[in-house]
Amino acid sequence: MTYDPTGHLLLTPVDQEAPARVRRLRELGLGERPEPAFDEFAHRLAEVTGAPFSMVNFIDEHRQFFAGLHTPTGTHSGSDLNAAAGGNVGRYMDRDHGYCPHVVVRRKALVLEDVCDYPRFAGNPVVDEIGIRSYMGAPLIDRTGIALGTICVVDTDVRPWGRAGLETIKSLAAELVEQIHRREDGLI
């Protein structure tokens, strides 16, 4: 685990499963290029949750890759998020930025209605650099038991996601995992 030397807060969890995840993502042909099907899924995720930003995120040892991305203008470049961040956000993000690495390691959905309410998460670089105030994500655990990544939604405003939001994000994650399995089986 990494700690902020000044505050001793947990920043990014140690990810023992990363090498196995990278091998599995390569087997599936995922995590190295944007995919229209994942962009469409991210768009649907945004519509269902009402969030301005949504992602299908695959994580390796060093970075996160948004294979699916939705922004308020409907672009898939992350330019809206760039504007909020003053530039520098696109399809890739460092592993120590954001909350998806926590979801992957915990293997459980995470709902942060106001990230600033949680000292452990309030110091994450996405708060100051991008202005993220709320997050909701769920792991994509495939048939081999590996957490491939996440689906997530974020907002620059506080959002009362509640239990309904938690159930929605978990249900949509299960749906995307099934889509990935059908793809692997050659059914789509």
- Say which CATH number the domain at 148 has: 3.30.450.40
* 176/36 Cα distance (integer angstroms): 14
Q: For 107-135, how does the pLDDT look when each residue is reduced to its tens digit (9 = 90+)?
A: 999 999 999 998 888 888 888 888 899 99
- Give the H or E element holding residue 172: helix 162-184
Domain annotation covers residue 8: no
Domain annotation covers residue 158: yes
Range of the domain at 53: 18-184
Stretch 67-73: mean pLDDT:
91
Domain annotation covers residue 5: no
User: How many structural domains are present in the chain?
Assistant: 1
Domain annotation covers residue 9: no
- Give the H or E element holding residue 20: helix 18-28
Domain annotation covers residue 2: no
Domain annotation covers residue 3: no
Q: What is the pTM of this model?
A: 0.86
